[in-house]
């Protein structure tokens, strides 16, 4: 799964990396991005223009009666995303990219290791950003007609680098696959083929302090390796 990540920019590199223009928000660096927060997401218009908007993490399907479902839909299992009612419409037409400088995962420690969970930070070996595969939806609040745009992160089976920590990981897109993922006209078989683990050599993994476990904690110190 993917339940916490970091995105600290800078915005000029974010624009360059994804050939996208931030629209309608100020960029705020985050080292502890969490579900139910408003975070930058790359979407592509029908004319091919890419824009970055802030969407709330935790998908609310268009048919949902209320938005409480969002806390259960922060991730979408890639193997079944094309069939699940919560995700299938977004998978066909509303795919997005969630930029991240890195993400966190927790490893369950044995009793001999002291028990509890040890957080790890995973970031790219090369380049500044991961392109996490995402889906987005637009939901209309029945009470007042207000529209809410939300997103989820697609996951897949873990590669060899991630397997000691967890059996799942986010789908990480290669730059050459951005267009196919974002383009609503891409054939379903081609899109599904992108739902796979990235090469383990693309990841750097190291342990970090447990402060990241508290969503109220922020700052660059969260991604510093343990000594």
Which residues are designated catalytic? 2, 105
Contact 197, 158 (CB under 8 A): yes
Q: Please give the C-alpha separations between residue 184 and each of 121, 165, 177, 190, 227, in angstroms, as whole numbers.
A: 32, 34, 13, 11, 46
- Between CA 5 and CA 33 the distance in angstroms is 5
Q: What is the DSSP letter of 226?
A: P
Contact 57, 71 (CB under 8 A): no
What are residue 226's phi and psi, to 5 degrees?
-70, 145
CB-count exposure of residue 120 (10 Å: 0-12, 13-18, 19+): buried
What residues contact residue 143 under an 8 Å CB cut-off, 6+ apart? none
């Amino acid at each position: 799964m993917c339940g916490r990540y970091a995105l600290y920019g800078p915005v000029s590199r974010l624009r360059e990396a994804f050939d996208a223009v931030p629209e309608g928000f100020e960029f705020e660096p985050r080292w502890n991005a969490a579900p139910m927060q408003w975070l930058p997401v790359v979407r592509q218009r029908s004319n091919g223009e890419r824009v970055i908007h802030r969407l709330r993490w935790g998908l609310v399907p268009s048919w949902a009666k209320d938005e409480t479902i969002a806390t259960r839909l922060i991730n979408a299992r890639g193997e079944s995303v094309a069939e699940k009612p919560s995700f299938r419409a977004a998978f066909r037409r509303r795919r997005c990219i969630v930029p991240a400088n890195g993400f966190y995962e927790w490893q369950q420690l044995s009793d001999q290791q002291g028990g509890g969970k040890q957080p790890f930070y995973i970031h790219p070996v090369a380049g500044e950003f991961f392109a996490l595969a995402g889906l987005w939806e637009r939901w209309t609040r029945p009470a007042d007609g207000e529209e809410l745009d939300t997103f989820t992160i697609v996951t897949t089976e873990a590669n060899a680098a991630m397997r000691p920590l967890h059996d799942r990981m986010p789908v990480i897109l290669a730059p050459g696959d951005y267009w196919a993922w974002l383009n609503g006209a891409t054939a379903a078989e081609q899109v599904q083929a992108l739902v796979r683990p990235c090469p383990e050599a693309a990841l750097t993994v190291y342990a970090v302090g447990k402060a990241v476990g508290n969503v109220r904690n922020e700052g660059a110190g969260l991604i510093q390796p343990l000594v």
